[in-house]
Structure formats: structure tokens, C-alpha cells
Chains A and B, each alone.
Chain A
Amino acid sequence: MNTLKRAWLSVIRKPGKNFLLFFIVTLLTTLMAASLAIRIASNNVTAEVQNRIGLQVSIAPERTELAYGVVGQHIPYSELQKVVSYKGVKSYNYGISYSFQAKETTQFPMVVLEGTQNPDLKHYWPNSQIIEGRTFTEQELAEGAHVMVISKQMADYYEIGVGDNFPLGRFYLMYFEPFSEWFDMEVIGIVDGPEVTRNYLPSQIFQLYMIYYYSESHVGWENLPMAIAPNIVIDQQIINTKLNYRLVGVNLRQNVQMRIPILQMESFEAVTEMRKLFGKKLPMPFKFNFADDQILSVLGPIGTLNMIAEAVMVFTMVIAVFVCSLIILLYLKERRHEIGIYFALGEKKRNIVLQVVLEVWIVSALALTLSVFAGTWIAKGFSAELIRLQLLIAEVQKGKEDIPNDNIPTREEVAAAYTVKISNEYIWLFTGLALLTVTASTIVPIVNILKLKPKEILL
């Protein structure tokens, strides 16, 4: 009869004695399984959230300033250039848009010129395709070449195609004296898709009227044709123009729309460095929204949960080692005769140790199968409730100062990503930790029985 068979017999022939150990191991490992399940789930969420917003820094005006409309919504291009020239910035995306006139007569709708920094137009219009011509080259974007990709709608309306030069401009009445300025844009591509027209909201139309106050006869205001051009071109055409110098006292920027610039950073160190270098240097009312702030605001509650789970787990493991040691010790004390017999028969000490460990493993194997499921079940209920509460608190705090940013996962998304699943990783980790715990509980009892003297037990 080998050691395993002996261990097996001792477990199945004395189920009553082993039940206490089974019960305690099940109870404690269920707690372990639950906290481990919570930990793994929250780590998954953390990874998910970090992947989503990664190493991003955005620049946006503070909400209070926006509300009062004191200053325009977009950071001057020159200021942005300073920031993005920092070597820790891997890439960045933003867009200025401005509505220009297409013809000198106001009977034609204006054209919304969207700025881009990215040759991949999917970034702006995910569901649209280039149907003719091409997109920008990196060089065109960097140098601010006077080229544009236009919408199918615009091409049809103005009857222009790839290769044509098309004038855009602005036309103002200054003290009832008309003034206009025009610049040629070469059409390099035509895009079609659901997103290429833009609807202006009534309030935005009102804003437009403030400047183009005379142009009541404009048509098609709700569906302005759209075109894309390098950011620099748009910026130059509203800042460094003769017109701009004539329009003293009129803030042209009020009519500028801007996508929030999002900077992709090289590393978290770069983010920290960026915060130090530029944190206070942005012009009012702009401020950085650091990805780590965003991560913290979303991950805060998860972190808390994670910490609780970890504490429960460590605590449970310590208690488990203590309690199981005691049970095994008492059980082995009762079996000192049997152990004395093995000693007298000359059984190798390592086999006796092995038998004790195997017995505990057999009991634990049964307990662990049960507790994996019980633990997951508990973890599901517990964490769903807790995360709901914590995210609610975080949201209330966050709402005070934050700006809208598409890249921050919502409460619902986090809660959805936070699913407690039985994965292989979980099973292995749990089994490993649980076996480590129960095995550790055999140390004291084993040391104790190895000191026994068969002569004193048996004779």
C-alpha cells in the first residue's frame, strides 16, 4: 500500500473527523475565492480603462468659463504648438473648424472647413469613405498646404472636382463698408458618407448672425457643406489675415469650433513631466485634463474595492493557516498511535509528511471545488453592489470640475467591464493560493508529530 492509498483510506474511512477540516477549509477558501474574483475582475477593469484612455492628455477650457462665454472655446494654435512640441508627446489630434463663404454673393451656403492633423480621415468621419482623389500627406498637414478634401455634397453643389481650385473667404461690412478676403484651396479628394454634413443648432446660427449680421438671405443654414483642410490653414485664415487687423474689437474666435486636443503621451513619466512643465503655462481659461486624473477618477472606486478584497484575502489566509493548523494538529494528536506504528515499521519520514499533506489536499480538493463556485457567486453580488455605490460617489465628485470627454469610460461601461467570471487564470491562481494556505497549515502539525517517539507511544 503506498502513501497516497493510505492518505485516501484515512480520509474516506473517517469522514466525520475530516468534516470539520472540510467545513473550515470550504468556508475560508470561499472567502479567498470571493476576494480573488473581485481582485481579478477589478484588475481587468483597470487594464480596460487604461487601454481606453491610456496615456492621454487633453486641453480644454474650464467649464465655468465656457458657461459665461467670456473667451472663445479653442486654445490658440500657437499655444498648442508649444505644448505638442514637447518630446514626451507621441502624437496628437485636434481640429479647428470655421465657416467660410464659398462665393461672394450671400445666396450660397457657407462651407464648414474642418481642420485635421491626421491623414486618416476615419478619425473624424468614421463611417465615410474617400470616393475620389486622396487624403492629405503628412507633409501637407505639417506645412499647412492649401489643399482640401471636400464632401460629395459640396462637390455636387458647387460642381467642383479633384484638381480644381476653389476660393473660400470671408465677407464683412465694416461701418457699412464691405470688406472681403479670399484664398484658393485645391480639391484633392472627395468624401461621401453619413457624417459629411453638419447641422448647426439654432444657438450656433444665432452666433453666426452676430457677425454675419447682414446675411439674412443665406440659404441652407441647417445643412452646411463640409470640407477638411490642414489645421494650420484654418488657423492662418482667421488669425494672420489683413481682415483680422481691420476688425478691431471683434473677437473672431467666437465663431471657431474646436475639437478638444488630445495628446497621446509616450509614458506616464512624460505625463508627469508635462504636468510640471506646462501645467501652469496654458493661457486662461485652458487647463490640462491629465489621463492619470481621469484614470484616478474612474479607477478610484475600483482601487478601493481592490484594497478591501486584498485585505480580506490576506486576513483570510492568515486565519486559515492558524485555524487549519490547529484542526490538523488536534486530529494528528488523536492519531499518534497510527503514526507511532509507521515509525516502528521504519517508514521514511518524508512519506509520513507526504501522507499528512496528501490527506489535507484530498479534503481541500473537495472543499475548493465547492468554494470556487460559492466564492464567485458571492463576489458577483457583493462587487456589483459596491461598485455601483462607489461609482456613484465618484461621479458626484467628478461632476464638479470635469469637462465632457468622450474618452472617459462611463459608469455603465466600467460596471459592464466589471464582470466576475471563472477564468483559467482565476482557477489556477485560486487553487495555487488555497493549496499554499492549506499546505502551510500542515507545517506546525508535521513538526509536532515528527518529534514523537514510537517507543513511548506503542510500548
Chain B
Amino acid sequence: MKLLDINDVFFTYPDGDSVRTILDHVSVTFEKGHFYAIVGSSGSGKTTFLTLIAGLDSAKEGVISFKGKDIAEIGLWEYRRNHVGMVFQSYNLIPYMTGLENVLVAMGISGKHHKRSEAYELLESIGIAKTKADRNVRRLSGGEQQRIAIARAMANQPDIIVADEPTGNLDGETEDTIIGLFKQLAVEKDKCVIVVTHSEKVAKQADVILRLHATNGTFVIEDNR
């Protein structure tokens, strides 16, 4: 079943007096239970593409539909609140809160559930024990912070999880465990996981690799399934 359908999307940025085309009428589909990797040279437009999927920006042309419905119609705020989880390279946790509180904030916003026990459980499943969950996030390692960010992305029980270079700031070993977590989410939790990465090692673990070409603004899709 098509979860997310990117149909003929066109995106440009203003570049001085002219415009620069980033995505030139791109069409891709994403499905549940799969792990997607987006690769491409720096400045090719990976992050830009991800923001469109995540509902942080809207395409100039074309339609992005979630379960057959245009996300613009759903409303980007509502789409983000209910259907997408986001993970960033720089974690972007709220610095004066504990890991647990960061998850609880997201749960509160989604309105789906608020229970502390559920938040602890979620963190536990992502490898954060209670003692660490109750620690201020600034006193956690990068890997631990990113785990909490993943738990937060799961807080609204989304179908889609997008991540922009989630292991960019982490060492190789931690990278493996974090990517392992993403794979697990796709396989075990039936999520649609879309990760932007610079690492071929990461990309190789994906079910589908989308290679973005900076020059013509289109994807070359490698299906490894």
C-alpha cells in the first residue's frame, strides 16, 4: 500500500535574481515497513526534499499525498502533529529538560497519550534506561541524545519517520546502533523510515536508496528489496 506518494513535485529556491531548481518534477512513493535512504552530493537538495515530506514546507508544484490525501489538504501542522516523526542531525532536544520530559512534551502536543509510564517504556524500547531518562539531556552522550530524539519522534505514533543525517555527529559504532534502531522501527513497528545520509555504509542497509542528482534535480532509485 502506498503510504506516501510524491507526485510530480517541483521545488526551486531564489538564487540572486534567478531561481535555482532543486527538485525537477520528482515522483516517488514510500511504503510502510521499509527503510529508505536518500543520498546525494552536498547541496543537491536532500534536506529540502525531506522538509517537503515532513510537511515543514510546501512544494511549488505537484502533490504529496499521505494515504491518498494531499497533505496540504490535511494541513501541514496537523500532518506533522499526527503522522510524521522527525529526527535531526543536531538532536534538537529542549536543553533544560530531561529525556523523559522531552518525550512527554511531544506526547502532550500529539494529544495521543501523556502517561509517564508510557514515555518510560518508549525510551526503554529505544535503549534509554530510567536513570538516564531522568537526566538532563545536556548530560547525555550524543548517541543517547539521538536515541531520545528518536523516542520523541515516536511519541505521536507516526507512520512516517524522517531523519536528516541522524548519525552525522556520531562515531561509527554508535552510528551502527542508531541505524539498527531505524531498521528495527521499519521492520518491527511497520514504520516508513526515511533517512538522509552521506554514508554509503548506512545507505547499503536501506531497502531502497534514492540518489538525488544535483544537476538535473531528479532521483535515481535503487531498490534492494
Contact = CB atoms under 8 A, between A and B. Distances in A.
B94 A345 contact: no
B97 A9 contact: yes
Dominant SS among interface residues on chain B: helix
A388 interface: no
A276 interface: no
B94 A1 contact: no
Given A2-B108, A342-B109, A459-B47, A10 B96 contact: yes
Bin chain A's interface residue count: 20 to 34
A345 B56 contact: no
Q: Which of A14, A342, A455 has the most CB atoms of chain B within a 10 A radius of its CB? A: A455
B51 interface: yes
Contact of B106 (A5, A337, A340, A345): A345
A342 B86 CA distance: 12
Contact of B78 (A1, A14, A346, A454): A346
A338 B94 contact: yes
Given A9-B97, A347-B109, A337 B92 contact: yes
Contacts, number: 67
A341 B105 CA distance: 10
B134 to A, nearest CB: 14
Interface residues of B, number: 31
A346 to B, nearest CB: 3
Contacts of A338: 94-95
B56 A341 contact: no
Nearest to A342: B109
Interface in B37-88: 47, 50-51, 54, 56-57, 77-82, 86, 88
Contact of B107 (A1, A14, A337): A1
Given A9-B101, A454-B56, A459-B47, A1 B108 contact: yes
B164 A1 contact: no
Contacts of A246: none
Contacts of A6: 105, 108
B102 to A, nearest CB: 9
Interface string B116-136: 000000000000000000000
A429 to B, nearest CB: 36
28 contacts: A1-B114, A3-B108, A5-B108, A6-B105, A10-B96, A13-B96, A341-B94, A342-B109, A344-B80, A345-B86, A345-B109, A346-B78, A346-B79, A346-B80, A346-B109, A346-B110, A347-B81, A347-B109, A348-B77, A351-B109, A453-B56, A454-B56, A455-B51, A455-B56, A458-B88, A458-B92, A459-B88, A459-B164
